[in-house]
Amino acid sequence: MRSTYPPLDLLNRDTSILAFNERVLSLAKNPDYPLLERLRYLCIVSSNLDEFFEVRAAPHVDAMRDDERKSEINVESYQTIAAVSHALVEKQYNIFNAELMPALAAQGVHLVSHGDRTPEQRRWVARYFEAEVRPLLVPIALDPSHPFPQVANKSLNFIVSLGGNDAFGRANNIAIVRVPRVLSRLIQLPKNLSNKEQKFVSLSSIIRAHLTSLFTGRQVLNFAQFRVTRHSDLAVDEDDVKNLRTALRKGLVQRNFGDAVRLEVSQGCDESLAKFLLQQFDLPKQSLYRVHGPVNLARLMQLADMAEGKHLKFKPFEPKVSRQLVPNQSFFMQLKQQDILIHQPYESFESVIDFLREAVNDPDVLSIQQTIYRTGSDSRMLKLLQEAVRRGKEVMAVVELKARFDEEANINWAEDLESVGAQVVYGVVGLKTHAKMLLVMRREGRHIKHYGHVSTGNYNPRTARLYTDVSMLTADPKITRDMEHLFRHIASQVKLPRLQKLLVAPFNLHRQLLAKIKSAELIAKMGKSAHIIVKMNALTDEALVVALVDAGRAGVEVDLIVRGACILPINAPGLDGRIRVRSIIGRLLEHSRVFYFNVDHVETMWLSSADWMNRNMMRRVEIAWPIVDAKNRERILSECCLMSLADNKDAWILNADGTYSLCVQQTSNVKVNAQEADFSMQQYLIQKYADY
């Protein structure tokens, strides 16, 4: 039967991303959080906005330049994004200036401006400038022989208006000072100059204080910091390159000089200088952001790292070893008995490294295969894989060179592995390999036994302490055999056989999810119960959104826990409140992907590396695997889903108009420890795992 409902009016993805950053910014105002952690969230918003502009803004800026009014991305869409972004940035600097810095100063942590420095501090700063900074600064006075210089993406610069004439009698009145990235952006003053407090000075304030000394014989009339953000999404035609790694190396050089999409200047920047910069970067006026403070708040993450004070930071917690693991017993022996879940960061990612270490040291292990997407700076897994090669094992690493903003690190991993003889492949042409898999093959008697690790998150020990993810160690012969087939497919491009347990994008994951939603819809139409709970980072795939709405209209209860962007309109006609969307924003970054279906009292659950985005379903290699064991399924449902749905402290609720509201604390007796202890869901789980 044809639907009688009008076409869905989906929420805007870009404004949804910006709304997510509004929610993150709320943590910078949260009085329950330590001050340096609040500053850290402020910096995270700056970093997120950088990436938003680098990746999402270029089409909108182009539409504004071209006065485009007919297509979906047009002048109006640009103006909407610009208005929301400007409001967000203004709120961000208000929090920085009016709340965080005064509160930190009251705790003895100061960012000391030039005007507030004592004579002794000024003398120390002057010596630092002469010794460490001045030698690396080369002002460029603009004239026909010195055109406007190449300004790298997100670099710190000064524009200076000069009076008088240069050494040759010419009146070139504009100069640019580029600040090298090798210089630390934050410097701590010596203790003997800090009066028993922690006092820091920013590099930009040091340069401002000594800027006139760079232009001997000239008048400095006006000056301002500025920073330009450029389009930075690497575009490499894989069908037209012979060596993807070499092509990406070249592309990384050009990334810093893509088309400009945003210009940040200090608040007092002279109007003529701002206009001059906009012309140089060919930007519309709405792309100019005047900021009352440092033009790159993300760099103040250094202050959160460098400043000391236990009361100013989160109380550290140590992840525990998974309750399902027996200490000092072989992983291979234990996996013969059961699958082992690891709920990070409450349970330690170190167990995964220990599993790999045992495989490397075990003489019966013949082969190790692993996908590498984002690894971070911790090199232990790299060294273990290299050691496996030296011990004569077959090692294959599927290195995703196109992992955005981690391309260089992954290229280095690939080269380091190849240098010792590991087999390195770069996935399938046209697709990113985003699946998280580690497969070990071990000779046991006359047979080769398979052991695997699959995860919703990356093989990154650092983020494994900050992101919530669920991973599973398994010897399930069907899952591990499917992993073997998938690794072979990625490496050799042979046709993927029919898999027994894994769902794999871009082949059947999207289709199977649609089928599961459709099955729930049909059951609901028969008057039977159906409930879908999905936890993920983003929901932007239109087909899946439409399927969920159709299911909701049929009577399926749908709970969506979506941390970031969500385009589903919960006010669509016929839903009658059956679809609810919430976002958990707290101390930890919610990263796990859980797909739960309860259809006529039959439960199925899948964990996955994939969000419900078109790119994940169609342009990436992703996996989802079933949780068959009822106890494991109950545990994941409780810890990842029900706890999030019960949370009324860190949860934000999607409203009918597309905005989000912080969940109001309930006064009723809720049988959820997270609320009874006045803890957020994350704090409760941290405490829970600390106690066992």
Give 47-103 as a 3 state SS string: HHHHHHHHHHCHHHHHHHHCCCCCCCCCHHHHHHHHHHHHHHHHHHHHHHHHHHHHH
The rounded distance, in Å, linking the Cα atoms of 428 and 80 is 37
The reported pLDDT for the residue numbered 676 is: 32
| CA atoms of 63 and 533, how far apart (whole Å) | 38
Q: What pLDDT sits at residue 620?
A: 95
Supply the pLDDT for residue 378.
80
**CA dihedral for 640, 645, 650, 654, sign (positive or negative):** positive
Tens-digit pLDDT profile for residues 333-355: 999 999 999 999 999 999 999 99
The pair of structure tokens assigned to 449 is 């036994």
Q: Which residues are catalytic?
A: 434
For residue 478, with 0-12 CB atoms within 10 Å meaning exposed, 13-18 middle and 19 or more buried, which class applies?
A: middle
Rg (Cα) of the chain, in Å, rounded? 27
The residues pairing with 230 across neighbouring beta strands, listed in sequence order, are 260
**What are the residue ranges of helices labelled H in 129-236?**
203-209
Question: How would residue 147 be classed by pLDDT, with cut points 50, 70 and 90?
Answer: confident
pLDDT tens-digit map of 60-88: 999 998 888 878 888 999 999 999 999 99
DSSP code string of 225-264: EEEEEE-------GGG-S-HHHHHHHHHHHHTTS-EEEEE
Q: What is the CATH number of domain 331-501?
A: 3.30.870.10
Write b or e for each residue in 283-313: b if 16 or more Cβ atoms lie within 10 A of its Cβ, otherwise e. Answer: beebbbbbbebbbbbbbbbbbbeebeeeebb
Higher pLDDT, 306 or 672: 306
Question: What is the CATH number assigned to the segment(s) 34-312?
Answer: 3.30.1840.10
Query: Quick check: 678 pLDDT over 50?
Result: no
Mean local confidence (pLDDT), 524-546:
98
Give per-residue pLDDT as tens, 28-41. 999 999 999 999 99
Domains 34-312 and 505-691 share a fold: no
Record the tokens describing residue 543, joined without a space.
Answer: 């087909």
pLDDT at 669 over 70: no
pTM for this structure? 0.92
Residue 366 to residue 356: CA distance in whole angstroms? 13
Instruction: Quick: pLDDT tens for 425-449.
Output: 988 778 899 999 999 999 999 999 9
Q: What is the pLDDT of residue 237?
A: 53
- Residues 371, 100: Cα–Cα separation, whole Å: 41
Rounded Cα–Cα distance for residues 307 and 299 (Å): 14
- How buried is 67 (Cβ within 10 angstroms: 0-12 exposed, 13-18 middle, 19+ buried)? exposed
- Residues 562-594: pLDDT tens digits? 999 999 999 999 999 999 999 999 999 999 999
Beta bridge partners of 291: 266
Does residue 222 carry a pLDDT above 90?
Answer: yes
Residue pair 468/344 in contact (Cβ under 8 Å)? The answer is yes
The structure tokens listed for 17 are 């991303």
Locate the domains of the chain by residue range: 34-312, 331-501, 505-691
DSSP alpha helices (H): ranges in 608-661? 614-618, 630-636, 643-646
Give the least confident one: 62-76, 239-253, 630-644: 239-253
Lowest mean pLDDT among 144-153, 251-260, 285-294: 251-260
Q: Is the pLDDT of residue 692 over 50?
A: yes
When pLDDT is cut at 50, 70 and 90, the band that residue 169 belongs to is: low
Give the mean model confidence (pLDDT) for residues 99-114.
Answer: 97
Tell me if the bond preceding 506 is cis, omega within 30° of 0: yes
Give the residue-averaged pLDDT of 212-232: 93
> Strand 447-455 and strand 467-474: pairing?
antiparallel
Q: What is the pLDDT of residue 672?
A: 40
Q: Both tokens of residue 256?
A: 């810093």
Q: Angle at the Cα of 11 (from 8 to 12), degrees rounded to 5? A: 130
The partner residues of 474 in beta bridges, in order of sequence, read: 452
Tokens 């060596």 map to which residue?
Answer: 243
Q: Which pLDDT tens digit goes with each residue over 9-20?
A: 999 999 999 999
The residue with tokens 């590991």 is: 422
**How large a percentage of the chain has pLDDT more than 90?**
79
Q: Work out the end-to-end distance of the chain between its first and last CA atoms, rounded to an integer number of angstroms.
A: 54
Ramachandran angles phi, psi of 44, nearest 5°: -60, -40
Please choose, from the candidates 604, 615, 591, the residue with its C-alpha nearest in 3D space to the C-alpha of residue 530: 604
> Is residue 671 over pLDDT 50?
no
**How high is the mean pLDDT of the chain?**
91
- How many residues appear in the chain? 692
Cβ neighbours of 328 (radius 10 Å): 5
313 pLDDT more than 50: yes
CATH topology of domain 505-691: Endonuclease; Chain A (3.30.870)
The per-residue pLDDT for 146 is: 76
